């Protein structure tokens, strides 16, 4: 089948593209390269450098007639969403609506949406969060991602668009941007390998659910055979504090310095980790790469 991947030159999207091509699918990539990188573009894919807000996206759908859209393009920085919620909404909501409208107009059969488990639940009332946990985002990024979940469900109801929504944990691995604000593993790895000072925002006791990118890719492949309108949490189901993460990476990378602590990031949930029981039961998915093995591979990729 032919799969159109938005954000296909980005961190997670590029890994998804590579896996789809290995599985024998034809792949079309759409990415404006604002955060994605041209070196991430798979030469076996057809690439369009285009913003998902651009009206010319319609021409891509007309020419390529994809069977499936895998929608990864997004503004993913919580702090930027707090500082500029209008920009966040333009990219994540209006951009996604442009993709959905083109999918509807051009007869796309199926839609996979990369959402966030780390931001839609807000401050959890219980942990780990399952899909029945109330959604109460505390930052514009979480609001915009949740809004698009609702739009995807609407297009399924109104137009028969087969779809699956994947709520991601904190994904890490090779190709993650070490200069952005949304990838603590990549930021730590780059600073440690350069011998630079690592800064931990807040107390470091905040907890996240870290899952290696290869495991997230596996869920995207499994979702191709499960497009029944379901929402799935992806996660290891355990929280790892930023202090614990630092200690593991310090040991693996031979980093000699202690961290210093800065102010906490506004809008970020303090502790969040996800119950992926449903994904295990219905998709047959579970994370297979241990945190230590994944961090070792990530550090090696930055070297």
Name the CA radius of gyration of the chain, rounded: 18
Task: Count Cα neighbours of 122 within 13 Å in the Cβ-side half-sphere.
Answer: 11
Collapsing DSSP to helix, strand or coil, 270 comes out as coil
Instruction: Go through the chain and tell me how many residues it has.
Output: 303
Integer Cα distance of 270 and 264 in angstroms: 10
What does 81-133 look like in DSSP terms, one character per residue? HHH-HHHHHIIIIIHHHHHHHHHHHTT--EEEEEEETTTSS-S-SSSSB-TTS
Q: How far is CA 192 from CA 196, 201, 210, 245, in A?
A: 6, 16, 19, 13
Annotated catalytic sites, by residue?
141
Select from 48, 139, 142, 34 the least CA-distant residue to 99.
48
Integer Cα distance of 190 and 237 in angstroms: 27
Select from 110, 112, 99 the least CA-distant residue to 57.
99
Integer Cα distance of 246 and 252 in angstroms: 10
8 Å CB contact between 35 and 13:
no
């Amino acid at each position: 089948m032919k799969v159109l991947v938005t954000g296909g030159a980005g961190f997670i999207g590029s890994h998804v593209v590579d896996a789809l091509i290995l599985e024998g699918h034809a792949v079309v990539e759409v990415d404006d390269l604002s955060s994605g990188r041209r070196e991430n573009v798979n030469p076996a894919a057809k690439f369009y450098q285009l913003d998902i807000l651009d009206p010319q996206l319609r021409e891509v759908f007309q020419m390529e007639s994809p069977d499936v859209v895998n929608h990864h393009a997004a503004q993913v920085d919580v702090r930027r969403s707090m500082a500029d919620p209008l920009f966040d909404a333009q990219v994540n909501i209006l951009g996604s609506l442009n993709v959905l409208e083109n999918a509807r107009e051009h007869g796309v059969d199926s839609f996979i949406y990369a959402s966030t488990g780390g931001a839609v639940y807000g401050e959890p009332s219980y942990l780990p969060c399952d899909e029945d946990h109330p959604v109460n985002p505390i930052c514009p990024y979480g609001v915009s991602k949740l809004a698009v979940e609702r739009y995807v469900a609407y297009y399924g109801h109104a137009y028969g668009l087969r779809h699956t929504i994947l709520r991601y944990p904190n994904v890490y691995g090779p190709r993650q941007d070490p200069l952005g604000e949304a990838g603590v593993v990549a930021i730590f790895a780059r600073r440690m390998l350069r011998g630079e000072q690592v800064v931990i925002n807040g107390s470091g006791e905040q907890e996240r659910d870290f899952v290696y990118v290869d495991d997230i890719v596996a869920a995207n492949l499994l979702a191709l055979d499960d497009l029944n309108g379901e929402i799935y949490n992806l996660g290891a189901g355990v929280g790892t504090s930023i202090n614990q993460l630092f200690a593991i990476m310090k040991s693996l990378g031979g980093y000699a310095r202690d961290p210093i602590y800065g102010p906490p990031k506004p809008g970020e949930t303090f502790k969040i980790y996800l119950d992926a029981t449903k994904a295990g039961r219905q998709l047959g998915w579970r994370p297979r790469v241990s945190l230590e093995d994944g961090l070792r591979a990530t550090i090696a990729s930055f070297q």
